Chains A and B, each alone.
Chain A
Amino acid sequence: MGSAEWEQPTLQERRRELRGRIGRFQRHWMDFGPALLYMLPALALIAAFTYIPFLRAIYLSFFVVNRNTFQPSHFMGLTYYLRVLNIGDSPFGDIYLRSLLTTAVFTLMVVPLSIVAAVGLALLAQAKLRKIGIFRTIFTMTVTISIASASVIWSLIYSPNVGLFRGLLGVLHLNSTSILTDSHTALAAVALTTIWTSLGFNFVIALAGLQTIPKDLYESAMIDGAGHWRTFRRVTVPMLGPTLLFLLVIATIACLQAFTQFKVLIDSVGPDRSTAVFVYTIFDAFWMQNDYGFASAMSVVLFLVVLGLTISQLRLDRKVHYQ
């Protein structure tokens, strides 16, 4: 028998292979039904409360929506999007563009400080001491505290009756009675509350990141005679890259979506609209003006901003990991 005949499958073998293929094909489709069944509750709920409402928000953003029937009535085209971007004649001027800017300023106030504070706490919590667990629990504490509860506490800290911040207003030569009612300080006050509330979460992530850094890197740095600061800059910071990027993105997205602290602490667009961040402005159009179409357009804009950030994170992530 030649080797060529070996390679040529016999009829029987061919049949067996074909049957195998059909079998596999059938097996795959046999699993399809049960797989769908297992996923059905999740599929139905995610369709009903995420995808369909999202598509509906896009649809409504092109219409005037009736306040009573909740049905779209007049087609508006891109009017609402142009209003957000202040293109063409808008009776609202640039208040929506400014609210995007306010959100950006708020984000810049919160994110860098939050991350620096969290990494600082994490470095401290790495100390090899007895009972360090207690300190770790304390640093994690604010993760359990809701933004609403935190805002109730801070509204008291900021209260003119307590007067903890009265001195600050004097130093800044401001005449307001409370730092929450002065257009120069209100946004920063909300930012401080936000930093405190997010401290626990950021700390947990930073500590987990620090703990993944291999110990021998520190040992070799020590052998090379690198000091604390040098080791921190040359070993800790680069190795913490992915964690820092993650924190940066999560904290930024959380700031873009910030609402509760503004609702509880300020409960309006703030002095001179100085605390009118984007999601609060959506709430205002939706809840106060019942302008469902316009509010939908703004929520689509919010989606696009968050999507843009997520995509740039994925891009950056590759860079940070391949360093």
Chain B
Amino acid sequence: MRHAQRAKAGLYALLTLVSLAVLFPLLFSLSISFQGDTVAPRLLPDLGKLDLGVFGDVFRKEHNLPRWILNSFVVAALVTAGQVVISALAAYPLALLRFPGRTFFFFLFLGSLMIPWESTVIPNYLAIASLHWKDSYQGLIVPFLASGFGIFLLRQSYRTLPKELYEAAALEGCGRTRYLFTFLFPLSRPALATLAIYCFLSTWNQYYWPLLIIDNPVWRTGQVGITAFRSTEIASFNLQMAANLVVMAPTIALLIVGQKQFVRGLTAGALKG
């Protein structure tokens, strides 16, 4: 008994130590944000003079910060909504309807996953620039509205539902479109949530594309904003870290609220390989 308890305590100690190591960069940035404007930050802040006003200061010093966060929200929310709806529609015939060329279309969608985004970025940039979509929401959103991954994920989820359900509904006179809205959508809610969280996270964290198509500081997203803010004159270490934490907070909150869906989303990604 004694031995088991000691082993347990040792395991907790090890877990805590490893957790501190994993969290170190985050804790360090939190520590620096509280240290006030200093050129030589230390590992731990002086607890006597913690500068708690830094999160207010950063909004005063960088007027665009709320706008950057708003931009990130608008872009991530609309890309997520679009990707969920468009994938849910496209996955339906691939999973349940029988029509000529179904395999062809399936591989067409699957094949798009083989092309790295970085391989298409130059023509995409040239096209968006020609359309005068730089510095705009449509330029940030439209290229990401459809993804082969989302279609593949939802097709797999639709296929786990019994085929008899579809046949029975058809016999009762339920049309194709009504079946989609009254049965498929509600029944595959976990898969839709998974896709939504995955999509929101990856859009929120995008960097390369917004870096290319945004010139006007007002249109920056959070990610591009903090990296640009970092190289300005006013950005002392504590303000840099505060701005960074402000931009990170929503996705960390998302993890804590929706961890189950989160983990499911990531492991669903694992199945695609």
Contacts and interface: CB of A to CB of B under 8 A. Distances in A.
Contacts of A129: 8, 11-12, 15
Nearest to B128: A49
Given A53-B123, A208-B270, A263-B211, A303 B116 contact: yes
Contacts of A142: 22
A237 interface: no
Contacts of B254: 144
Given A260-B208, A302-B118, A201 B266 contact: yes
A122 to B, nearest CB: 12
Contacts of B224: 148
B255 interface: yes
B205 interface: yes
Contacts of B93: 31, 34-36, 38-39
Interface stretch (A84-92, A107-115, A132-140, A223-231): A132-140
A121 interface: yes
Contacts of B255: 137, 140-141, 143-144
B130 to A, nearest CB: 6
Nearest to A155: B230
A28 B100 contact: yes
B19 A135 contact: yes
Given A286-B122, A302-B116, A32 B129 contact: no
Contacts of B226: 148-149, 152
A45 B146 contact: yes
B85 to A, nearest CB: 8
B74 interface: no
Contacts of A246: 270, 273
B174 to A, nearest CB: 14
Contacts of B204: 146
B65 interface: no
Given A28-B99, A53-B123, A153 B118 contact: no
B241 A141 contact: no
A303 B115 contact: yes
A296 B123 CA distance: 8
A263 B254 CA distance: 27
Interface string B192-222: 0000000001001111100110000000000
A154 to B, nearest CB: 6
A57 B266 contact: no
Contacts of B122: 53, 57, 60, 286, 292, 295-296, 299
Nearest to A201: B266
B130 A70 contact: yes
Contacts of B115: 50-51, 54, 303
Contacts of B101: 32
A191 interface: no
B208 A259 contact: yes
Interface stretch (B45-53, B56-64, B161-169, B243-251): B243-251
Interface string B79-120: 000000011011011100111111001001100101111111
A307 B114 contact: yes
A157 interface: yes
Given A54-B120, A57-B119, A144-B248, A161 B86 contact: no
B91 to A, nearest CB: 9
Task: Classify chain B's interface size.
Answer: 35 or more
A287 to B, nearest CB: 7
Nearest to A145: B248
Interface string B150-163: 01000000000000
A60 B90 contact: no
Nearest to B180: A38
B138 interface: no
Interface string A260-288: 10011000000000000001001000110
A277 to B, nearest CB: 11
B137 interface: no
B259 A137 contact: yes
B32 interface: yes
A174 interface: no
Given A28-B98, A204-B266, A146 B207 contact: yes
B103 to A, nearest CB: 12
Contacts of A286: 121-122, 125
Interface of B: 8, 11-12, 14-15, 18-19, 22-23, 25-26, 28-29, 32, 39-41, 43, 86-87, 89-90, 92-94, 97-102, 105, 108-109, 112, 114-127, 129-130, 142-146, 148, 151, 176, 201, 204-208, 211-212, 223-224, 226-227, 230, 237, 240-241, 244, 247-248, 251-252, 254-256, 259, 262-263, 266-267, 270, 273
Given A53-B121, A144-B252, 13 more contacts: A39-B105, A43-B90, A45-B145, A49-B124, A50-B115, A54-B115, A124-B14, A149-B226, A153-B28, A154-B25, A196-B25, A246-B270, A250-B270
24 contacts: A28-B100, A29-B99, A31-B98, A32-B101, A35-B93, A42-B87, A46-B148, A49-B120, A51-B115, A53-B123, A139-B22, A140-B263, A146-B204, A146-B251, A152-B226, A153-B29, A159-B237, A162-B41, A163-B40, A199-B22, A208-B263, A260-B208, A302-B116, A306-B119
Rank and list the top 5 A-B pairs by shortest CB-CB distance, nearest first: A146-B205, A35-B93, A45-B146, A42-B90, A53-B123
